[in-house]
Amino acid sequence: MSFLVIGIIWINHHTMCALARRVDRRTLFANLFLLLTVSVIPYPTRMLAAYLTVPGRDGHTAAALYAATMVVMGAAFSLLFLAFTRDARALHTPIAAEDLRAARRRFGIGGMCYLATVGLAYLSPVAMLATHALLAVYYCFDQLGAARRRPTAPPPGL
């Protein structure tokens, strides 16, 4: 599961980086924060694997730790998106305002779902893990697709 999550992060990161014509220090530090969160994912994954089927609170705590890690990772990814898109001049193609709002809304929905899984972990670690599988499927789809395909002005010569 975590391999799939990290792979999807990598694919979406690549997609987002393709938007940029140039980056600044703020964007590089946001990128570093995302790298930090991704590098931490194996630890709560190992904890969850060890305690998922153990009766008692340990399984719930391990699941909550995993979910909290994903909350922080989602926040880091959102910060990186904001860093990339805050200056239209740094992008290859400016993103239309409505596409930018739609992408932020989709990231917000995902972030709220990640946050909800922390509470779900205390109800059912297995349900929390299943929800993360669904979130992985959600993020398999290109969250920036319309923003990258729709030009904000007609091409020259038309």
Give the pLDDT of residue 17: 86
Give the pLDDT of residue 152: 47
Residue whose entry in the numeric block shows the structure tokens 């972030």: 111
Structure tokens at 7: 């792979």
Give the pLDDT of residue 143: 64
> Which residues of the chain fall below pLDDT 70?
143-158
Rounded CA gap, 4 and 18, in Å?
A: 21
Give the pLDDT of residue 145: 58
Give the pLDDT of residue 144: 64
Give the pLDDT of residue 107: 86
Q: Between 42-51 and 125-140, two packed helices, what is the crossing angle to 10 degrees? A: 140
CA-to-CA separations, 5 to 27, 43, 50, 57, 116, in angstroms, rounded: 22, 14, 19, 25, 17
Rounded CA gap, 33 and 35, in Å?
A: 5
Q: Is 102 helix (H, G, I), strand (E, B) or coil?
A: helix
Backbone angles phi, psi at 47, to 5 degrees: -65, -45
DSSP H helices, the chain, are 2-17, 25-40, 42-51, 57-85, 97-123, 125-140, 145-149
Structure tokens at 76: 């880091």
Give the pLDDT of residue 77: 93
Backbone angles phi, psi at 20, to 5 degrees: -85, 135
Give the pLDDT of residue 92: 83
